[in-house]
Amino acid sequence: MSAAAQYARLVEAASAPYRAAGSFAWHFARGKLGRDPAFRHFLEARLIPEGARLLDLGCGQGLLRALLDAAGEPRLASYRGFELMARDVERARRALGGDCGVSQGDIRTAPFGSADVVVLLDVLHYLPLADQDAVLARVRAALAPGGTLLLRIGDAGGGLPFLLSNWADWCVACARGHGATRFHCRSVAQWRGALEALGFAVRAEPMSRGTPFANVLLVARAPRHD
């Protein structure tokens, strides 16, 4: 079986539990896991190591948790997700179980504890710039030495594809009950600067394959020693 067919099968398995959370949750899971290249890339590039303590900030309905469960690998030491919207937390719990690790919380104040990998997938632009910086500083403090932040952003320097991704995000935010949301975006260079100021070593990878957007994955490694 081709890699694409294998991944399609995995998406079906990861989405199936969301039937219990309603038609929107199921269709959303299939569409997002199937078409957003970030999820497949996390698995194929092995960005989440075996035994990691994973912290998923702004985790929505817990799609990353569902995908990792369905894949069976890597086996995590723990998964914790924080999500602002009660409706998404409810969808995650109905699909994945009350003990799935998804809690309602605002990432500006939620207790991060310690983690080996932190994921911020299309989330930080919901926050004003000063709050983004404060969250990043708390992420850096929560990460173990050598730990990884996986930060996916829309590149504000990305021209028309960026405007398209912002528009699509805005539509999804409205559909999920956020109302008219104002986004706070930065260019890749600006994100890189903010992360490097915190001591991260940063690698930027385009993460829009198969979409018309200007999304970029920043893989930010904390130093092995402080």
Ligand X SMILES: C[S@@+](CC[C@H](N)C(=O)[O-])C[C@H]1O[C@@H](n2cnc3c(N)ncnc32)[C@H](O)[C@@H]1O
**Binding residues vs ligand X (CB under 6 A):** 32, 58-60, 63, 82-85, 88, 106-108, 121-123, 126-127, 169, 172
Q: Report d(CA 121, CA 149) in Å as an integer.
A: 10
> What minimum distance in Å lies between the beta carbon of 171 and ligand X?
11
CB 33 within 8 A of CB 44: no
Q: Give whichever of 86 and 141 is closer to ligand X, judged by the CB atom.
A: 86
Whose Cβ is closer to ligand X: residue 107's or residue 195's? 107
CB-wise, 105 or 147, nearer to ligand X? 105
Phi, psi of 218 (to 5 degrees): -100, 115
CB of 54 to ligand X, least distance (A): 12
- Minimum CB–partner distance for residue 61 and ligand X (Å): 7
Burial class (CB in 10 A: 0-12, 13-18, 19+), 113: exposed
Q: How far is the CB of 23 from ligand X (least distance, A)?
A: 18
* Cβ nearer to ligand X, comparing 54 with 127: 127
Q: Which of 127, 118, 49, 123 is nearest to 80 (CA)?
A: 118
The continuous run of DSSP H or E covering 151 comes out as strand 143-154
Distance between first and last Cα of the chain: 45
